[in-house]
């Protein structure tokens, strides 16, 4: 089955400039901006500019230049936030939710970068 992308999702609107955002970094193929409801002192979302629903969609169909740009942008933002390990930061968590079981709210690929405080266990135990 093919991937289906809804171009009316909120991040598509951000990319079209229809909704404002607090940009952290913009590159040729990616945009990083602050999450509107931060879950940690640092909570930045990184999205590709292309129309991809999820990480698996992106990995399967994006040109290599976009994948490289996206991966490097995530790393750069970690450094900008000072959470990266090379500069002695205390670390971070990357999360990319997909679909129903991933509890994805916005159907445009995004990587959450969370840091500035501990992020707890990776997932809740089943049934909690
Ligand atoms: P998901 O659950 O899809 O992984 O996460 C979607 C994220 O997008 C949530 O953390 C939510 O706070 C954030 N979000 C939803 N709408 C907006 C918006 O209009 N602007 C920004 N900056 N973040 C948003």
The rounded mean pLDDT for the chain is 96
Whole-prediction pTM? 0.97
Catalytic residue list contains 110? yes
Catalytic residue among 29, 42, 57, 110: 110
Alpha-carbon distance of 23 to 20, in angstroms, equals 9
Ligand 1 near 67 CB (within 6 A): no
Ligand 1 near 94 CB (within 6 A): no
**CATH class as words, domain 10-115:** alpha beta
* Mean pLDDT, rounded, for 80-109: 97
Atom 24 (ligand 1) nearest CA? 36
Q: 38, 94 in Cβ contact below 8 A?
A: no
Q: What is the pLDDT of residues 21-55, one digit of tens each?
A: 999 999 999 999 999 999 999 999 999 999 999 99
């Amino acid at each position: 089955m093919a991937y289906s992308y809804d171009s009316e999702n909120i991040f598509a609107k951000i990319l079209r400039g229809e909704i404002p955002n607090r940009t952290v970094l913009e590159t040729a193929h990616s945009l990083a901006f602050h999450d509107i409801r931060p879950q940690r002192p640092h909570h930045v979302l990184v999205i590709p500019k292309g129309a991809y629903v999820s990480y698996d969609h992106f990995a399967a169909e994006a040109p290599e230049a976009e994948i490289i740009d996206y991966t490097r942008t995530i790393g750069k933002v970690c450094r900008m936030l000072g959470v990266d390990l090379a500069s002695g930061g205390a670390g971070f968590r990357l999360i990319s939710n997909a679909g129903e079981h991933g509890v994805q709210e916005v159907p445009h690929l995004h990587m959450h970068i969370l840091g500035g405080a501990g992020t707890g266990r990776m997932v809740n135990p089943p049934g909690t």
